[in-house]
Amino acid sequence: MITKKAIVIGASSGIGKELAKVLADNNYEVGLVARRVKLLEDLSHQIDSKTYIKKIDICKYSEAKLSLEQLIEEMGNVDLIVVNSGVRHSNPNLDFAKEKDTIDVNVAGFVNMAEVAINYFLKRGFGHLVGISSIAALVGSAKSPAYNASKAFVSNYLWGLKQKVINSKIYITDIRPGLINTPLVNNIKSRFWIETPQDAARDIFKAIKRKKQIAYITERWSILAWLLKILPENFCNYIYAKVK
């Protein structure tokens, strides 16, 4: 069996950690990327396949770009890059420091890592970029306005990249999870359709194998996504307030 190679950016916890395990279980060598190296080392001991560890703070843009390029070179011929790093602040009082941190990580940091991936795949001629967005991309939020806006940016940025690589052998998947039981949702009271990181990772891997352009995790969130797109804004705000 041919071994494939993947990089998971944001592999120290939550979805990224569990996805790295699923990839390893499916014959991938895995590059583990995050700021917290100790957690990556602990994760590598839980994985049977070959792993590579790289400390990257995606907010240190020049350094992060160079480090990801170095990791790709160290691994050789990476097939899949998952950009999972993200933060979510509850910020009803509009503290600019929290909004800026969200933008620095979820927007600028994401773009920096995605550009490295796409430029590498364009040079190689094929590959698969996966970005972790959110169902939150489809609507605003009074409690975390920058977070929802940042996820809308991620989805639209991935859409633009899909146009860039059309008719090539480069695939791009926009993953839009609903509520996943990670620290990101600790301040959300609703447990509506909440899913474990383990189950979410398995669903994400299925979407990767199918090379889906957009995947809601779980698929039942696509029902809410459809409603949010067709219903009037005021009604969407009411639904979202009940869910979130």
| Euclidean distance between CA atoms 143 and 78, whole angstroms | 38
SS3 of residue 64 by DSSP: helix
Pairing relationship of beta strands 28-34 and 126-132 according to DSSP bridges: unpaired
Task: Say how many residues make up the chain.
Answer: 244
Where are the alpha helices (H) located in the chain, listed in sequence order?
Answer: 14-25, 37-45, 61-75, 96-102, 110-124, 145-164, 197-209, 221-230, 233-243
Domain count, the chain: 1
Around Cβ 238, how many Cβ atoms within 10 Å?
12
Q: Name every residue whose Cβ is closer than 8 Å to that of residue 152 and which is 6 or more positions away in sequence.
A: 137, 138
Question: 68 or 135, which is more confident?
Answer: 68
Contact assessment for residue 40 and residue 61, using Cβ atoms and an 8 Å cutoff: no
| Euclidean distance between CA atoms 121 and 227, whole angstroms | 35
Token representation of residue 50 = 């070959």
- Of these ranges, 40-44, 88-92, 142-146, the one predicted with the greatest mean pLDDT is 40-44
**Nearest to 172, CA basis, from 202, 208, 204, 137:** 208
Pairing relationship of beta strands 214-217 and 126-132 according to DSSP bridges: unpaired
The domain in which residue 158 lies consists of 4-243
- CATH number assigned to the domain comprising residue 154: 3.40.50.720
Residue-averaged pLDDT of the chain: 89
Residue 240 above 90 pLDDT? no
Question: 181 or 44, which is more confident?
Answer: 44
Contact assessment for residue 79 and residue 5, using Cβ atoms and an 8 Å cutoff: yes
Q: What pLDDT band is residue 194 in, cutting at 50, 70 and 90? A: low
pLDDT in tens, 113-144: 999 999 999 999 999 999 999 988 888 888 88
Contact assessment for residue 173 and residue 128, using Cβ atoms and an 8 Å cutoff: yes
Identify the weakest region by mean pLDDT among 18-22, 150-154, 217-221. Answer: 217-221
Token representation of residue 125 = 């001629």
**Nearest to 86, CA basis, from 198, 183, 229, 199:** 183
Contact assessment for residue 232 and residue 194, using Cβ atoms and an 8 Å cutoff: no
Predicted local distance difference test score (pLDDT) of residue 186:
45
Exposed/middle/buried for residue 46 (C-beta within 10 Å: 0-12, 13-18, 19+): exposed
Contact assessment for residue 12 and residue 43, using Cβ atoms and an 8 Å cutoff: yes
